[in-house]
Amino acid sequence: ITPVLRDSNLYRYKGFCFFKEFMKPEFIESLQDFKIRDDDVFMITYPKSGTIWTQQILSLIYSEGYRNGTDQTETSERVPWIEFQVLSKDPNYDPNSRPSPRLFASHLSYRFVPQGLKNRKAKIIYVMRNPKDVIKSLYHFEAMAIYAETSPDFDHFFQKFLDGDVFAGSWFDHVRGWYTHKDYFNILFIKYEDMIMDLRSVVQQMCMFLGKELDNESLDIVVKRATFNEMKADPLANKENMAEDFFDLKTGKFMRKGTIGDWKNAMTVAQSETFDHIFQEKMGDLDLHFTWDI
Ligand code: A3P
Residues 62-116: pLDDT tens digits? 987 777 777 778 888 899 999 998 777 788 889 999 999 999 999 999 999 999 9
Atom of ligand 1 at shortest range from CA of 262: 3
Q: Is position 156 annotated as part of the catalytic site? A: no
Q: What interface predicted TM-score (ipTM) does this complex get?
A: 0.99
45, 228, 239, 240: residue to mutate for ligand 1 pocket, most atoms within 8 A of CB: 228
202, 256, 264: residue to mutate for ligand 1 pocket, most atoms within 8 A of CB: 256
Atom of ligand 1 at shortest range from CA of 257: 4
The CA-atom distances, in angstroms, between 28 and each of 60, 82, 247 are: 29, 10, 24
- The pLDDT of residue 244 is 66
- The pLDDT of residue 239 is 80
- The pLDDT of residue 254 is 86
Q: How far is the CA of 32 from the centre of ligand 1 (A)?
A: 28
Ligand 1 atom 14, closest CA: 258
Residue 80: φ, ψ to 5°: -75, 165
Give the global pTM.
0.96
Catalytic hit among 107, 140, 174, 289: 107
**Cβ atoms of residues 120 and 220 within 8 Å:** no
